[in-house]
Structure 1
Amino acid sequence: MRPLSFWNNAAEKPGWQARLLAPIGALYASATAKRLKKPARFTADVPVLCIGNINAGGTGKTPTTIALLQRLQTRGIDAHVVTRGYGGSIEGPIQVDEREHKASETGDEPLLLAAFGPTWVAKDRAEGAKAAQQAGAEIILMDDGFQNPDLTKDASIVVVDARRGFGNGRCIPAGPLREPVDVGLKRAGLVLSIGGESAQAQFSNAWGAKIASPHAKGQLKPLETGMDWTGTSFLAFAGIGYPEKFFNTLRGLGATLLQTHALDDHQPLTTSLLARLDADANRLGAQLVTTEKDAVRLPRDYRYRVLTLPVRLELQDWSEIDSLLDRLLAKKNAP
């Protein structure tokens, strides 16, 4: 489902639609708070770091998880990811094999994450953590699940898109939030805002006063592949939380976008949809291009026909995140 238009403007006063839906949003927030009071069903013997959000999708959790996996790997730490596998048919827990599994089985994000490190799909996150621990995980990265109480979290990173911030500050359906900002941030061990310099300044001005935890800043940047994006016309499509971010990244590389298609997050790439996109591209004389997350949902016979733009999270200063990781690892290794 595409976000409602009145969700998207950072730190703006709620409009009449949001005010009208506020009572339902209050009920949603109350249900979240009630769920969080439930006791955890499993506490792992290794650290559990949740990479979550307060917003409903589109903040950059997957690139953050990839960056953390790689950061820990450089330190010789065996990190495993546990994820629910949204949209997949597998109940789990099962370790994802990107060569064998399909996105329809595991969900798209687990298939992408599995290319970077051990990744477990489990509808029941507590069972997923048990499986990861038994397989030798030294730290578990819990992809999403900030509002899920089943698994004890040793710390949580709240990821937020700096440009969009926390929107109008209201809970679903009156706004983009799963819970009130003040409530969610109390449980955050660290806030990671993702965006360029101007977006970071905008976020700090709007929301900085509410952040009591350490605050790290990062930016998603295209991976250097040697591709010249300026010499070709493109038809771009994306089924992610915030497709316009992907389209703007392409434009920033000098790409000419003759047509863009914002699909629903995790939307299945059916044969009929792809045939329609392919026909439009042929008619326009354009090359199809999509995101890494969408690419893993492509049928195999389409993968050679669609270009992919990979992006990676870059931080100028890792000190706050490194300190958090040090505390987690030291805590669990203490006698």
Structure 2
Amino acid sequence: MRTPAFWYRPPGLAAWVLAPLGALYGLGGALRRRRAVPQRAGVPVVCVGNLVAGGAGKTPVCLALSRMLAALGHRVHFLTRGHGGRERGPLAVDPARHTAADVGDEALLLAASAPAWVSRDRVAGARAAAAAGATVVVMDDGFQNPHLAHDLALVVADGAVGFGNGFLIPAGPLREPVAAGLARAGAVVVMGEDRAGVAAQAPGLPILRAALVPDGAGWRGRRVLAFAGIGRPAKFFDTLAAVGAVVVERVPFPDHHPYTPDTVMDLVERAARLNARPATTAKDAVRLPHEARAMVDVLPVRAVWQDGDAVRRLLPAVP
């Protein structure tokens, strides 16, 4: 799904017309959470979620937490639904065998760092991870899933756009009302400068500040045709410009877009005509056909904490 532009503008006609559908969407989610009885996994579960549809930086935050938990002595396993993949799980992800069509793009990124599990049934997935030796499970997304009990839930918000126009899907980007979601959170992670006033909407909650830091070595002056199929492609395009790349064309795709060989070859040929190289995100790269990956440049990013000690104080201790 391509993120509608009006989601991140002041509410207009489209938002108000769709607001009744958003109210029904919110009611359905609230009833689902009210009826559920959260189940324990047998090990601590750290949930990294958000309140909006689309990307806010959850996967880089999961990877940053994994490094921190591992340094504290934990055996970290990741858990994800496997959005965009066909496998229902519980399934241990094998990057040498599985593709994004099997397990989704986030699962492959996570599995490159620590053991990762795909499971539509989050309780079953977390218990499988615990049985395989995990001492803590870091769940990428799933904040709105009421079946698995969390020991810590972090809500990630993009400081540039926050919670959008404040309306629920499809009238806006929200999966649930902001106040209801933050009432279940243990802390809010604000990614980048808080231009949208996220912290002001979370009184009483710890605010953890982080930034997505690109590995920009060698990009200055490089001519690129930038493409991305993430929640907010413009964020990636701006990051490329910030590291000094010359972005000659910007090509947005819907989130989790499955790239075909023909699509990639079209991008490569368009870039060549512009005397440029195609460039994309690490998340997009795992969805490229294997034979096309050498033809595309990838800009890796990682989440960096402003105050790592504040994060560590919230994390579960090693048993």
TM-score bucket (shorter structure): over 0.9
Distance in 2 between the 1:119 and 1:68 partners? Answer: 14
| Residue aligning to 1:286 | 276
1:4 aligns to 2:4 (yes or no): yes
Aligned with 1:235: secondary structure? Answer: strand
Of residues 207, 213, 228 in structure 2, which corresponds to 1:221? Answer: 213
| Residue aligning to 2:40 | 43
Distance in 2 between the 1:94 and 1:40 partners? Answer: 24
Distance in 2 between the 1:144 and 1:211 partners? Answer: 23
> Which deviates further from its counterpart, 215-224 or 46-55?
215-224
Q: CA deviation at 1:66?
A: 0.6
Distance in 2 between the 1:93 and 1:39 partners? Answer: 20
- Structure 1 contact 47–329 (Cα < 8 Å) conserved: no
| Residue aligning to 2:17 | 20
User: Structure 2: any 5+ residue segments left out of the alignment?
Assistant: none
Aligned length: 319
Give matches, 1:138-287, under 5 Å: 138-195=135-192, 199-200=193-194, 202-204=195-197, 208-223=200-215, 227-287=217-277
1:74 aligns to 2:42 (yes or no): no
Aligned with 1:304: secondary structure? Answer: helix
Aligned with 1:126: secondary structure? Answer: helix
Aligned with 1:32: secondary structure? Answer: helix
Letter in structure 2 aligned against 1:290: T
1:310 aligns to 2:300 (yes or no): yes
Distance in 1 between the 2:230 and 2:203 partners? Answer: 27
Q: CA deviation at 1:42?
A: 2.9
Q: CA deviation at 1:101?
A: 1.3
Distance in 1 between the 2:181 and 2:268 partners? Answer: 43
User: What is the CA deviation profile of residues 265-307 of structure 1, one whole-angstrom value per residue up to 9, with x for unaligned ones?
Assistant: 1100111211211121121111011100111111121111111
Letter in structure 2 aligned against 1:66: L
Aligned with 1:216: secondary structure? Answer: strand
Q: CA deviation at 1:232?
A: 2.3
RMSD: 1.4
Distance in 2 between the 1:297 and 1:209 partners? Answer: 35
Distance in 2 between the 1:288 and 1:209 partners? Answer: 39
Q: CA deviation at 1:21?
A: 1.4
Classify 1:8/1:74 alpha carbon distance in 2 versus 1 (closer, same or farther; 3 Å): same
Runs (4 or more) in structure 1 with deviation over 4 Å come to none
TM-score by length of 1: 0.92
Percent of aligned positions that are identical:
47
Distance in 1 between the 2:177 and 2:211 partners? Answer: 25
